Structure 1
């Protein structure tokens, strides 16, 4: 009797469980809540203050829409130095620093191979989409960690599409990641958008057709006039300044470049227009954001950097470039609204670095500034070490604010390398424009400010970096007599905009300190995927906490 009762009870429990399972939602078919498309927008060399310097002149649908409808992280800083393009794009998408991800500059001297290295160079691949040239021999080979775009590919079993687009190869390749479906960049010699055999054997038809249009010529035919009457550019200096780059007076004549100089488009605001136009075509042609698998489009607008380097942050040229970019962003956001749906995409906008004021502009206004020259630094230090220790050309080069020694010669020297470095540090401190210098192996023992120690340490890769790091006085940089540059720890280079908008993003701002390394983990938290494997940042809780 007892056995019969147990059997009946077991059948009853099984039937009840089966009924509950049958009536329960099918959890295996449920999708994780994610946007259909994520768009990363990096504006190359965008200082944080540009969000507000030209705010009154922006349209309602561009930068103002981001600020007013999105969430702005007002105090976002780069946590490493040098603050260069390749490092910045890599940090944004890896959540890591050069010490870990390995991209320590746009280029560097590799002490192991004893060769100069460009950040995305790869001799094992070749150009696709145009005639062969070194411009196409590029991939992610030198990047040591995964990106948020890689992690999205992994999380979706490679069903998510990831595409990178930029005039610069490094602005396209590094954000798109190792596992990207494609990365496209602009070939200056032909005016074509190209890729490499790392991604594909031939470009898709939509890229081939786009290249046939040679749209740069159409923009050249317009020349570059100011968008508004030139006397309304009250946030800028006078049009003609000796410390600005070549042809610094409006209108800028461009017709002479038609079918001849396709590279010139980079140094006009039209380069950004081309970039965002190609991004639209990628969305349409690759059907990005058209299903329930999240896709990712990584776009970098590079012309802001080219114009900034030539003319500087206070030029009419840079103001006009941002006013035109604002209109391009408005058109791009409207396109996303129509094609993907306003509630279906998430976009973030940030920058890879800022820029210093042009020294000539600073001096004109009685503000301290100046420039140094890498070649002069290396020559002076070599002369000093030769006089002091009879060491001939022991310094290979000065690069990325670092001194790189010929270790073959230092190993054979009659004095220790520590003595050579100590003498070099003391000499460098005495040079005009130098604030400090430090032996990279002894940075913890230095008298540098903590923020400088942290940023230099984060930028130091033990297998790729130099031996001594030097810090310049504020608003001093490596450069010439015209235009500007970047690369330092100072806020004008390290304070960047960061605004999220769209799916899953509430309106608001925060003035808490956050870092560029926090962008990727914030995206990971919003998308419910793993952070990149070298991440050192943290999710921005003001955004992720609903």
Structure 2
């Protein structure tokens, strides 16, 4: 998986890709060109969970990277687990208190473990903890993620009490220190980046410790590693180390290595979809993928392994970039809007903090206060709707999540919202903004909406049992787990809503 890889990146930089990376997957594999997310909250945690569970946030419980827990009266992080400790860094470090316990369904990796009587080996790897943990599932042998404080790859006691020797040896190489000593220069001469805008746009954010968003970049500390190509470099290197030391795919059972490249998300948020930085990241990632495929060829033999390439979400173009080209777009400071709404509700129904929290464009209301004041959900909803729709071009619609069926939005979009509503974790009211509008500031961009830029992502299959070809038939992210289950002859995950992609099987 690639974090924040929009579909068009396969083609925009195609002429500059090598023959062994993205091009190899596309030209020798099977390309599902019309692949979309099947729900509205296109965010990292839900994306990784949806790919591997074949489910929806409404069922697997992963509705965001965070959500508000009314019982605990606080925000909950998607991979948090206060019952475990860090392994590989300070045991008390919050960065290590991680596991998949918040995910309510099985993954295709769990199903593979079950089918093999847990003899199959499953390992998850990503710079972001959630990118390694959620795909690997509940029964994984291990998940490893990057600790920006120590510069180590770490895990938690959910998986083990001590790092394997090979991971200790890998950390001992101090690869981040060596990479930080190098400036981030463009891979090609900068004038060749014709698929991107000129360097130094006013709506780009700067890297840590820098004053301008221009090349060359300095990687100032461990925390800046993920926002540079070196985040992908260390991910590739530990992936190769895992393949070698864990002897993945070399036993009698099928093994599963879940790898997520997190760096494009960090860079994409900061500099947007048309920056030289993001183009350079993808040109370098292409070479990283080529190296991994080459190592798989040498270790297992071509045709003896199966790969799929996809993303956890897409990304919206920076509003400043679009407006410069006369395309409707804009940003909303959602925190200010929530404060405004709370004041309007209080003015009508009485003093109090009516909106306890907001996350994933959802508002969480104080139900106790509503009961005390004898105010119904529909009364608050109608007020919020009236106040938000007068904001003009930014707000498309307001949805009562307790009554989605009555929402006046096109039938095409209604299931996308239904698929994110989890009665235990979701909010009460959801704000839908117009296409190309998002919650943010003047610099950088984001994702998380139901519009095409955030939902249309690559899906390319390559290797074992995969024919050469492509399809423009609609496929969905949930179909990945279902297709893997059919290829592996195992039961699909227990919350799976996807279907095997017929064209892959009919063309064999």
TM-score range, shorter chain: over 0.9
Say whether the 8 Å CA contact 2:349–2:373 is kept in structure 1: no
Give the drift of 1:450. 1.5
Q: Identify unmatched segments of 5+ residues in structure 2.
A: 207-211
Of 120, 135, 142, the residue aligned with 2:79 is 120
SS in 1 for 2:103: coil
Of 172, 176, 192, the residue aligned with 2:152 is 192
Mapping for residues 355-394 of structure 1, pairs under 5 Å: 355-394=315-354
Say whether the 8 Å CA contact 1:374–1:397 is kept in structure 2: no
Of 452, 477, 495, the residue aligned with 1:516 is 477
Give the drift of 1:78. 0.2
Mapping for residues 8-87 of structure 1, pairs under 5 Å: 42-87=1-46
SS in 1 for 2:384: helix
1:529: which partner in 2? 490
Say whether the 8 Å CA contact 1:47–1:496 is kept in structure 2: yes
- Residue 458 of structure 2 corresponds to residue 493 of structure 1: no
Say whether the 8 Å CA contact 2:36–2:455 is kept in structure 1: yes
Of 169, 193, 198, the residue aligned with 2:129 is 169
More deviation in 417-426 or 530-539?
417-426
CA distance in 2, matches of 1:317, 1:297: 28
SS in 1 for 2:10: helix
1:237: which partner in 2? 197
More deviation in 521-530 or 242-251?
242-251
Residues 492-533 of structure 1 deviation map (CA, whole Å, 9 limit, x = unaligned): 000010000001000000000010000000000000000000
Residues 122-178 of structure 1 deviation map (CA, whole Å, 9 limit, x = unaligned): 000000011120000000110000000000000000000000000000000000000
2:209: which partner in 1? none
| Number of aligned positions between the proteins | 500
Mapping for residues 188-227 of structure 1, pairs under 5 Å: 188-227=148-187
2:105: which partner in 1? 145
Say whether the 8 Å CA contact 2:85–2:156 is kept in structure 1: yes
CA distance in 2, matches of 1:325, 1:522: 26
CA distance in 2, matches of 1:159, 1:388: 62
1:17: which partner in 2? none
Say whether the 8 Å CA contact 2:39–2:419 is kept in structure 1: yes
Residues 106-128 of structure 1 deviation map (CA, whole Å, 9 limit, x = unaligned): 00001233221000000000000
Of 212, 217, 220, the residue aligned with 1:252 is 217
Of 277, 298, 323, the residue aligned with 2:258 is 298
Question: Which of the pair has more CA radius of gyration?
Answer: 1
Say whether the 8 Å CA contact 1:152–1:160 is kept in structure 2: yes
Give the drift of 1:418. 2.1
Residues 457-476 of structure 1 deviation map (CA, whole Å, 9 limit, x = unaligned): 10110110000111101111
Say whether the 8 Å CA contact 1:377–1:398 is kept in structure 2: no
Aligned-pair RMSD on alpha carbons? 1.0
SS in 2 for 1:459: coil
TM-score (norm. length: structure 2): 0.97
Mapping for residues 308-347 of structure 1, pairs under 5 Å: 308-347=268-307
Give the drift of 1:353. 0.2
Q: Identify unmatched segments of 5+ residues in structure 1.
A: 1-41
CA distance in 1, matches of 2:274, 2:323: 13
- Residue 410 of structure 2 corresponds to residue 449 of structure 1: yes
Give the drift of 1:417. 2.9
CA distance in 1, matches of 2:357, 2:337: 8
- Residue 64 of structure 2 corresponds to residue 90 of structure 1: no
SS in 1 for 2:474: strand
SS in 1 for 2:460: strand
1:402: which partner in 2? 362
Residues 373-425 of structure 1 deviation map (CA, whole Å, 9 limit, x = unaligned): 22112101011112222242211122101111111211211332321222112
SS in 2 for 1:451: coil
CA distance in 2, matches of 1:116, 1:445: 29
